[in-house]
């Protein structure tokens, strides 16, 4: 059988570059060498470079993206591949852009009666004083995050207006991003790993995240071992979260796979965000979801490729 020419995109210029390189290493380790001829496109930190020329020359049959954050996840790279006519697994341009913009995704979910954390959205050019009343109404503690961030980079919980102002300034300065200040949700943090094939959309696994403090931070995600464990929830609660995760996936027009971050507090379910290019490192949630349903991560990639190439 003729091998499929598989291109992997890795690296990139976002703050999640290091995670991307680890995701790429895990994909390379997991895929079946009998099935694929693999070419890695290591996208440099700076713009330019020869990866684009190589991509046009090599023209892989399919792309698997190990990029996370920034241009890799916000629809830009998806648009480039679309223009080049190179197929890829995962979400398309609009869905990628929508999910990357946390506030935009939340607005669409809320409009469809999916609960999210109450928030105040502050554009990077605005003064936080404009929102004093809204912030007072929301109350502390708040979680402050870059609107288009990832891997928990730049996220912190704040308990006062002073801490809030400092956190906002820090995000604007460091990441040149807009800011989302959200009500801190208590309760159990879970992720639903959603996968799609010709049979439809299903939740592969509902995972509890292993975190040490309130925030599931960078270290918990990538440096302290396996970041998740299968939940043991009452069946009615499991049904509720899986139904909401599938609805969120559909409403945000995701494709192939995505992870829906959620909180469950008593019987309230909140969607925190939807990741269209979640981490694929050995310790990440998607490989853990594969293990929990008895398939290897390599088989998961096979299925995603089959879904695209038929």
Which residue intervals of 61-145 are DSSP H helices?
70-73, 76-84, 93-100, 102-111, 132-138
Cβ-based nearer residue to ligand ADP, 93 or 285: 285
Cβ-based nearer residue to ligand ADP, 110 or 306: 110
Cβ-based nearer residue to ligand ADP, 124 or 183: 183
201-222: b (≥16 Cβ within 10 Å) or e: bebbbbbbbbbeeebbbbebbb
Least distance in angstroms from the C-beta of 302 to ligand ADP: 27
CA 306 to chain CA centroid, Å, is 22
d(CA 284, CA 226): 7
The residue range among 2-10, 98-106, 217-225, 260-268 that interacts with Mg ion, by the rule CB under 5 A, is 260-268
Binding stretches for ligand ADP (CB under 6 A):
117, 143, 145, 149-152, 155, 182-185, 189, 211, 215-216, 261, 272-273
Question: Residue 156 touches which of Mg ion, ligand ADP, none (CB < 5 to 8 A by kind)?
Answer: none
Q: Which of 153, 261, 280, 305 touches Mg ion (CB under 5 A)?
A: 261
Question: Residue 151 touches which of Mg ion, ligand ADP, none (CB < 5 to 8 A by kind)?
Answer: ligand ADP
d(CA 176, CA 170): 9
CA angle 8, 13, 14 (to 5 degrees): 100
d(CA 216, CA 245): 19
d(CA 280, CA 255): 16
Q: Which residue is nearest to Mg ion (CB)?
A: 261
Cβ-based nearer residue to Mg ion, 31 or 244: 244
Least distance in angstroms from the C-beta of 183 to ligand ADP: 6
């Amino acid at each position: 059988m003729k091998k499929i020419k598989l291109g992997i995109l890795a690296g990139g210029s976002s703050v999640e570059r290091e995670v991307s390189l680890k995701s790429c290493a895990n994909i390379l380790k997991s895929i079946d060498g009998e099935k694929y001829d693999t070419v890695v496109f290591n996208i440099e930190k700076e713009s330019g470079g020869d990866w684009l020329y190589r991509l046009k020359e090599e023209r892989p049959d399919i792309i698997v993206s190990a990029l996370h954050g920034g241009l890799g996840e916000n629809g830009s790279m998806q648009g480039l591949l679309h223009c080049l006519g190179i197929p890829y697994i995962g979400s398309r341009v609009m869905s990628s852009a929508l999910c990357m913009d946390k506030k935009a995704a939340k607005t669409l979910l809320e409009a469809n009666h999916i609960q999210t954390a109450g928030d105040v959205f502050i554009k990077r050019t605005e003064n936080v004083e404009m929102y004093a009343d809204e912030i007072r109404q929301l109350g502390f503690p708040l979680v402050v995050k870059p609107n288009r961030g990832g891997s928990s980079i730049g996220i912190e919980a704040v308990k006062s207006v002073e801490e809030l102002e400092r956190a906002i300034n820090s995000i604007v300065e460091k990441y040149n991003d807009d800011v989302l200040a959200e009500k801190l949700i208590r309760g159990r943090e879970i992720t639903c790993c959603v996968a799609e094939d010709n049979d439809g959309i299903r939740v592969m696994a509902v995972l509890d995240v292993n975190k040490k403090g309130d925030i599931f931070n960078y270290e918990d995600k990538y440096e302290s071992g396996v970041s998740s464990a299968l939940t043991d929830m009452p069946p009615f609660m499991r049904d509720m979260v899986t139904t909401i995760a599938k609805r969120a996936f559909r409403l945000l027009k995701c494709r192939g796979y995505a992870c829906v971050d959620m909180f469950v507090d008593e019987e309230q379910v909140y969607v925190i965000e939807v990741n269209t290019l979640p981490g694929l490192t050995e310790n990440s949630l998607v490989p853990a979801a594969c293990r929990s349903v008895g398939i290897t991560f390599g088989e998961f990639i096979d299925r995603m490729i089959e879904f695209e190439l038929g």
